[in-house]
Every structure is written in structure tokens, then in C-alpha cells.
């Protein structure tokens, strides 16, 4: 029970530090938490028949029930205080573009690393596969990237066709990605794969990558932290090298944070306002659209149709065939 409460409190602290405006917790949930705490504390009380010697607690044994009960109750009281520290977000089943909170672009000082200047790269001559292999080696051997890896985890370079005409660009690897070393393999990745397949393409014919090559550390095993501007600036030369080698016809920017990395940081930019619009990254057009995780959280037909309309615009600009069936998806 104590460990569960500690995990809950840690998670609430993490969300608050990341800038989330609130979490929705019902009165019923809080009542159930209180009941569970009281039940646990009552169960831990010593028997009235216990002798004084039995109630004595040596230093190397468990703490007295009264002390344990006070600790648990103190932790339980911290939960509603954290929950009520900020306004409650709208429920994700009823999204509103203006109500979606912007994700912060600066991490808590305790978890954001201090980084040296970005790397300077000079791509050698050779074929696209050879150049990408050279770049992969540079990324995987980068001391700064590796110093920001969590123990036992992997850097995520990117994958796909060296001749891809469409480059899908996210912000950073997540928990599933840093385990496998492959971009977009979690729940958001599964949705992205289905979107790509619905376009008549495959993961092998497009290119999929992120601005960041490591998962930003949030000081916890739970959730993901958006990368800071400084973190993205350090990794951007690696992305620029990938784009220079692959030379895609179109970049699909997945989410506001990825767009800030591609287009420059703009605190006023909201993905709900700019999605479906074309921008430029150097000479390459960029389609702004939702991150697949946003679609997973707000999976109404309206949201699905919006991201699909963005993909139809990408297909049209890339010269891909569009069938009447594809035109009618989610209508």
C-alpha cells in the first residue's frame, strides 16, 4: 500500500513539473482511496492481547502500526492536495482545439541535461545506404547521446528507405522505442503504421525518425517528457544530415514539439491551429499534423478525419494515387 501511494504521488509530482494543468479525479475515487488507507491502517493495528514485549519494536523490525498509520494517512492527504493544485483538464473523450493544453518545451531543471554545442558533421561521399550507415555509427557512438541514455536502453536512429519521398518526423523516442532502438513501435507507432498503410505505403518505403535520438529523462519510469529546446538543438544536426542524405520530397511533422524543432521554437504555436497547413524546412515542404498519440487519446471520427485529410494532402503533393475509398475514410 505504501509503495503504491508513493508511486501515485511521484507520478502526480511528475505531471505537475511537466506543466500539465491538472488531472481529473472523481470524489468517488478519493473516497475509495481513503477507505483503502483506513482499512490498511486498521489491519496493521497490534492485537489488544499482545504483551508489552510483543509490542516492542527493535530497530531492525517493522515500525509500530501507529507510526505506519500516520505515515500512510499523511501520504494519502498529499494526493488530493496535488490533484487540486491546478484546474482540471477537459475529459479526452470530448476534445476541444482551444482546450488542449500546450505541452511544455522546457523540462524541469532536475532532469534537463546541460549540453555542449551541437555536433558539426561532414557527410562523406558515397551511396545513400553507405552515408546513412556512416551517420548511424556517428549517432550510436555519440558520447553526449550515450551519456543521456538510461541504463540498458538504446539510442533510436531512424528506419526506412534511403530513397523515401516522405519523411515522418516525431519529437523523441518513448519507452517502447528506447527498449527496441526503433522509432514509433509503441501504441502511437502502431497507429502511424496503419496510417502509412492506408496511404498505400509501408514502413519500408517511407522514412520514420525523430529529432531526438535519445528518450528525454524525466526522472521517473512513468510517462514521457517533451525535449527541451536545447536538447533538440543538439540533436538537430543529426536530423539535418538524415534529410540531406535521403532528400525526401515531403516532411510530415508529427505534433507541435516536432514542429518547434523543424521550424524554430514558437511558444504560441498550437498544433490544433496549424495542422493541415504547409510550412518549409529549408527547401522541403512540411505538413503539420497531429502526433498519433494525440489521435489515440482523442479518437473521435472528427479527429481521425482531420489527420487523414492531412495525409490526403501529402499524398496529392507526392503524386500518389488516391482512390475514392481513400477519399471517403472517416467521413
For the chain, the structural domain boundaries read: 2-42+64-83, 128-327
Q: How far apart are the first and last CA of the chain?
A: 48
The answer to whether 253 and 191 have CB atoms below 8 angstroms apart is no
Q: Are strands 207-210 and 159-160 parallel, antiparallel or unpaired?
A: antiparallel
Residue 181, number of CB atoms within 10 A of its CB = 15
pLDDT band of 220, cuts 50, 70, 90: confident
Query: What does the alpha-carbon distance between residue 107 and residue 115 come to, in Å, rounded to a whole number?
Result: 13
Mean of the per-residue pLDDT values of the chain: 79
Long-range CB contact pairs, 95-98, < 8 A, 24+: 95/298, 95/300, 95/303, 97/270, 97/272, 97/273, 98/272
Of 199, 320, 179, nearest to 249 by C-alpha is: 320
The residue whose grid cell reads 542524405 is 245
261 sits in the region (left: phi over 0; alpha: psi -120 to 50; else beta) called: alpha
For 282-320, write each residue's pLDDT tens digit: 999 999 999 999 999 998 999 999 999 999 999 999 999
Query: Three cell numbers at 133?
Result: 550507415
pLDDT at site 4: 53
- pLDDT of 53 strictly over 90: no
- What is the tens place of the pLDDT at every residue in 73-117? 444 444 444 333 333 333 333 333 333 333 334 434 345 678 999
How far CA 38 is from CA of 14, 33, 205, 290, in Å, comes to 26, 9, 58, 44
- pLDDT score at 95: 32
Question: Which of 4-18, 146-160, 205-219, 292-306 is predicted least confidently?
Answer: 4-18
What is the pLDDT at residue 10?
A: 53
- In whole angstroms, give the CA distance from residue 141 to residue 116: 16
- Quickly name the fold that domain 128-327 has: Uracil-DNA Glycosylase, subunit E (3.40.470)
* pLDDT at site 69: 43
Task: Tell me: pLDDT of 60 over 50.
Answer: no
Confidence check: pLDDT of 180 > 90? yes
pLDDT reported for residue 34 = 59
Residue spans of beta strands (DSSP E) within the chain: 159-160, 166-170, 207-210, 250-254, 278-281, 284-289
**pLDDT band of 45, cuts 50, 70, 90:** very low
85 or 123, which is more confident:
123
Give percent above pLDDT 90 in the chain. Answer: 62
Q: Per the structure block, which three cell numbers stand in for 126?
A: 558515397
Q: Indicate the pLDDT class of residue 223, thresholds 50, 70 and 90.
A: confident
Give the model confidence (pLDDT) of 237-260 as tens digits. 999 999 999 999 999 999 999 999
pLDDT value, residue 219:
77
Say which residue, 278 or 78, is predicted with more confidence. Answer: 278
Arithmetic mean of pLDDT, 146-155: 95
The pTM for the full model equals 0.69
Average pLDDT over residues 51-63: 40
- For residues 176 and 185, what is the distance between their CA atoms, to the nearest angstrom? 6
Cα 300 to the chain's mean position, in Å?
20
Task: Label residue 152 left, alpha or beta by phi (over 0 means left) and psi (-120 to 50 means alpha).
Answer: left
3-state helix, strand, coil in the chain (%, to 5): 45, 10, 45
Amino acid at each position: 500500500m505504501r509503495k503504491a501511494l508513493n508511486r501515485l504521488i511521484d507520478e502526480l509530482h511528475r505531471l505537475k513539473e511537466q506543466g500539465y494543468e491538472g488531472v481529473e479525479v472523481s470524489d468517488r475515487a478519493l473516497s475509495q482511496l481513503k477507505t483503502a488507507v483506513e482499512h490498511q491502517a486498521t489491519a496493521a493495528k497490534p492485537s489488544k492481547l499482545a504483551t508489552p514485549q510483543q509490542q516492542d519494536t527493535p530497530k531492525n523490525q517493522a515500525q509500530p502500526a501507529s507510526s505506519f498509520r500516520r505515515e500512510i494517512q499523511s501520504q494519502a492527504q498529499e494526493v488530493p492536495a496535488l490533484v487540486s493544485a491546478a484546474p482540471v483538464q477537459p475529459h479526452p473523450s470530448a476534445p476541444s482545439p482551444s482546450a488542449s493544453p500546450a505541452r511544455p518545451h522546457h523540462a524541469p531543471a532536475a532532469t534537463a541535461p546541460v549540453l555542449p554545442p551541437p555536433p558539426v558533421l561532414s557527410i562523406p561521399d558515397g551511396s545513400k545506404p553507405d552515408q546513412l550507415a556512416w551517420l548511424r555509427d556517428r549517432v550510436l557512438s555519440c558520447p553526449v547521446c550515450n551519456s543521456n541514455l538510461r541504463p540498458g536502453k538504446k539510442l533510436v536512429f531512424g528506419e526506412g528507405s534511403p530513397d523515401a519521398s516522405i519523411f515522418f518526423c516525431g519529437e523523441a523516442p518513448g519507452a517502447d522505442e528506447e527498449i527496441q532502438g526503433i522509432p514509433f513501435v509503441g501504441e502511437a507507432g502502431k497507429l502511424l503504421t496503419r496510417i502509412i498503410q492506408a496511404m498505400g505505403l509501408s514502413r519500408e518505403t517511407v522514412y520514420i525518425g525523430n529529432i531526438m535520438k535519445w528518450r528525454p529523462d524525466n526522472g521517473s519510469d512513468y510517462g514521457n517528457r517533451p525535449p527541451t529546446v536545447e536538447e533538440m538543438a543538439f540533436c538537430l544536426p543529426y536530423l539535418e544530415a538524415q534529410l540531406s542524405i535521403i532528400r525526401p520530397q515531403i516532411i510530415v511533422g508529427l505534433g507541435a514539439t516536432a514542429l518547434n524543432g523543424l521550424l524554430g521554437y514558437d511558444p504560441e504555436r498550437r498544433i490544433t491551429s496549424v495542422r493541415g497547413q504547409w510550412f518549409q524546412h529549408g527547401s522541403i515542404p512540411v505538413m503539420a499534423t497531429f502526433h498519433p498519440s494525440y489521435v489515440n487519446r482523442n479518437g473521435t471520427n472528427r479527429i481521425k478525419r482531420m489527420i487523414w485529410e492531412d495525409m490526403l494532402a501529402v499524398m496529392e503533393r507526392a503524386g500518389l494515387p488516391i482512390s475514392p475509398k481513400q477519399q471517403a475514410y472517416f467521413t
